[in-house]
Chains A and B, each alone.
Chain A
């Protein structure tokens, strides 16, 4: 089991460029989510999905799009990058959205927008 994998590990973009952060899990988890980590603010939820074809917004969704065509993959798209999107992005998954289940995190993608 690879668990939750994310690519790329590092990325530098110019303002206005677009890109997709990849996330995949091989644990057959229904629930997947994207967080961003900023200093002094913990992790904040961007978008989440409770199954293939179902996505919803989290706390800070503006500037990001997601889709979930398969159980395994949950890519995060930045439509037009802005310096405010400089952050570390984590993807996470869990068997369900039930409160008792822990979430498993990927290693993160460090994004810098110039």
Chain B
């Protein structure tokens, strides 16, 4: 079945540091890939997405590229801020068959940014 693996956390950075959170996936067919963010006490919000190979999703200074050859969708940001402290989830969505529209999530990575 489908699966998503994220790098182990938690990740602690100083403000303005470079961020990478690794994400790799296993899926049949051609899934879409997503990064969701969860701020403390809130639900999940879509951060960015990519729906086909070589697509780059970007939002709020974050970006990730859909790499089919390495089955990866790593999240990056050049300069993090304290307000980026949150839990980040990588997810894929496939369609058809028994996995109709299901989102499969990684385990989440806790990011803490210090001033």
Give A residues with C-beta under 8 Å from B: 4, 31, 33, 35, 40-45, 48, 50, 56, 58-59, 90, 92, 94, 96-108
Contact = CB atoms under 8 A, between A and B. Distances in A.
6 contacts: A43-B89, A48-B100, A90-B43, A99-B30, A99-B51, A105-B44
A111 to B, nearest CB: 15
B94 interface: yes
Interface stretch (B13-21, B73-81, B103-111): B103-111
A45 B102 contact: yes
B22 interface: no
B34 A102 contact: yes
B55 to A, nearest CB: 11
A34 to B, nearest CB: 12
Contact of A99 (B32, B45, B46): B32
Contacts, number: 70
Given A31-B101, A48-B101, A58-B102, A99 B43 contact: no
B100 A100 contact: no
A63 to B, nearest CB: 19
B108 A107 contact: no
Nearest to A110: B41
A105 B108 CA distance: 16
Contacts of B101: 31, 33, 48, 50, 94, 96-99, 101
Contact of B105 (A42, A48, A50): A42
Contact of B43 (A45, A98, A105): A105
Residue of A33, A45, A103, A104 with highest tally of chain B CB at under 10 A: A103
Contact of B107 (A42, A56, A92, A103): A42
A50 to B, nearest CB: 7
Contacts of B30: 99
Contact of B100 (A40, A43, A97, A102): A97
